[in-house]
């Protein structure tokens, strides 16, 4: 995400009517809640146990593997080890896309530093190189906000100085390896801390989440929808809109290929697709143990309408269309948008429609207050 998006304070709120949000899958008895007739909501337990916890476990595991591989590479650099590090980096970065939806509540937001700081892009190659020259490895200093996390590793592992000589015989090789290690260790540490915060054996936020009934600002539903929509909007604005010259809206701006996520590794579309599918899975309730109950069930129970049909179905189709559109866009995205931007613009338009559905229509139907603001006009 953009540094400006990360630092932007919540400035606006929309007050929406409240409804009871215990619900069921389409086709089930309307008198029961999802998962049974015991009067308990099964959406939050499914999202918490079947989607959120496994996603954090995967992030912690992949970042741990990446950090171990970097330690091994730094001990005795060679091309085989470097290739292995690059591969593990891509795996870890993709796993990040399934936890970013929870950046703005719970352990990810209360920990210091906040987890969202691991993906502020584009990275500052100038700051990174200055730090390497000076031997400054304090990646969590405020001045290094754009010189840490996955974007920094993207540059270090795939950028113009990602050569074997840069990590072995160059005059700054020792400092470069130290900086690579510091960035990786920070990602590993922060990812592990977020997981511990959710686990029952740690901060036990999973219990708080599951028991956070209601639709108030502080309820789990309210926190989840706000965080999810904010993350999805970052996907629309920062992953697609800015590189395409579509942000802010209504202005004629140049295409900015250097502004894409994962510019150096060239996996921008893969990352965007992973993030989109993660949001889709929360909506559908699809997780590690198969399909369960998701946000869609609340809308089905509420019988929310949209243009004469069901809002739940409209959002489902919207996700499917966006996924299909993204799958048709080749990486590297930075090259694609210069040669043939039309498919990407079509996907951006689909994202715009989904943002309105997720940020306005869905919260309105569920009585959820949107507490973060933006100035992009959706």
**Same-domain check for residues 339 and 236:** yes
Containing domain of residue 246, as a range?
3-44+213-366
State whether the Cα torsion 230-235-241-242 is positive or negative.
Answer: positive
Distances (CA, A) of 169 to 79, 128, 136, 175, 360: 14, 19, 20, 12, 56
Q: What is the pLDDT of residue 223?
A: 98
Q: Which of 188, 156, 196 shows the shortest CA–CA distance to 172?
A: 156
**Same-domain check for residues 62 and 164:** yes
Q: Which of 165, 198, 231 is the last residue before a domain boundary? A: 198
**Same-domain check for residues 58 and 10:** no
**Same-domain check for residues 153 and 236:** no
**Same-domain check for residues 286 and 225:** yes
Q: Which of 133, 164, 198 is the last residue before a domain boundary? A: 198
In a domain, 257, yes or no: yes
**Same-domain check for residues 28 and 75:** no
**Same-domain check for residues 351 and 280:** yes
Q: What is the pLDDT of residue 189?
A: 98
**Same-domain check for residues 319 and 237:** yes
Q: Which of 167, 198, 229 is the last residue before a domain boundary? A: 198
Q: What is the pLDDT along the chain (378 residues), one digit of tens a residue?
A: 765 444 433 333 332 333 333 333 333 333 334 544 444 689 999 999 999 999 999 999 999 999 999 999 999 999 999 999 999 999 999 999 999 999 999 999 999 999 999 999 999 999 999 999 999 999 999 999 999 999 999 999 999 999 999 999 999 999 999 999 999 999 999 999 999 999 999 999 999 999 999 999 999 999 999 999 999 999 999 999 999 999 888 788 899 999 999 999 999 999 999 999 999 999 999 998 889 999 999 999 999 999 999 999 999 999 999 999 999 999 999 999 999 999 999 999 999 999 999 999 999 999 999 998 764 555
Q: What is the pLDDT of residue 373?
A: 74
- Is the overall model pTM greater than 0.85, yes or no? yes
The total number of structural domains in the chain stands at 2
Q: What is the pLDDT of residue 250?
A: 79
Helix H segments across the chain?
Answer: 3-7, 43-46, 53-75, 79-96, 107-110, 125-134, 149-158, 173-198, 205-210, 220-234, 242-244, 268-284, 295-302, 311-327, 333-339, 342-356, 362-366
pLDDT digits (tens, 9 = 90+) for 150-184: 999 999 999 999 999 999 999 999 999 999 999 99
- Which CATH number characterizes residue 58's domain? 1.20.1420.20
Q: What is the pLDDT of residue 37?
A: 41
Q: Which residues pair with 370 in a beta bridge?
A: 14
In a domain, 237, yes or no: yes
In a domain, 374, yes or no: no
């Amino acid at each position: 995400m953009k540094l400006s998006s990360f630092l932007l304070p919540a400035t606006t709120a929309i007050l929406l009517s409240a409804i009871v949000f215990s619900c069921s899958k389409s086709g089930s008895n309307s008198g029961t809640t999802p998962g049974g007739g015991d009067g308990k909501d099964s959406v939050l337990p499914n999202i918490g146990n079947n989607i959120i916890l496994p996603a954090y476990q995967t992030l912690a595991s992949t970042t741990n593997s990446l950090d171990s591989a970097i330690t091994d590479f730094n001990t005795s650099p060679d091309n085989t080890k470097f290739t292995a590090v690059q591969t593990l980096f891509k795996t870890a970065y993709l796993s990040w896309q399934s936890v970013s939806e929870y950046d703005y509540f719970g352990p990810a937001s209360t920990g210091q530093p906040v987890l969202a700081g691991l993906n502020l892009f584009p990275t500052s190659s100038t700051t990174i190189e200055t730090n390497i020259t000076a031997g400054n490895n304090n990646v969590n200093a405020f001045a290094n906000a754009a010189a840490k996390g996955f974007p920094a590793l993207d540059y270090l592992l795939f950028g113009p100085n990602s050569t074997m000589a840069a990590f072995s015989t160059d005059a700054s090789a020792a400092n470069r390896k130290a900086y690579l290690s510091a960035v990786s260790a920070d990602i590993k540490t922060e990812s592990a801390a977020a997981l511990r915060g959710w686990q029952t054996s740690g901060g036990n936020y999973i219990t708080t989440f599951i028991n956070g009934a209601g639709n108030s600002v502080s309820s789990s539903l309210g926190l989840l929808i706000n965080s999810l929509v904010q993350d999805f909007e970052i996907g629309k604005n920062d992953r697609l809109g800015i590189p395409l010259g579509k942000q802010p809206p209504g202005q004629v701006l140049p295409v900015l290929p250097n502004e894409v996520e994962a510019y150096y590794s060239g996996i921008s579309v893969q990352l965007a697709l992973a993030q989109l599918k993660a949001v889709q899975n929360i909506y559908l309730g699809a997780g590690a143990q198969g399909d369960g109950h998701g946000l869609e069930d609340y809308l089905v129970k509420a019988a929310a309408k949209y243009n004469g049909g069901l809002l739940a179905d409209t959002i489902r189709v919207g996700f499917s269309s966006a996924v299909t559109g993204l799958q048709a866009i080749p990486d590297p995205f930075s090259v694609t948008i210069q040669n043939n931007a039309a498919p990407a613009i079509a996907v951006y338009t689909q994202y715009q429609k989904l943002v309105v559905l997720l940020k306005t229509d869905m919260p309105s139907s569920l009585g959820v207050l949107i507490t973060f603001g933006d100035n992009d006009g959706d």
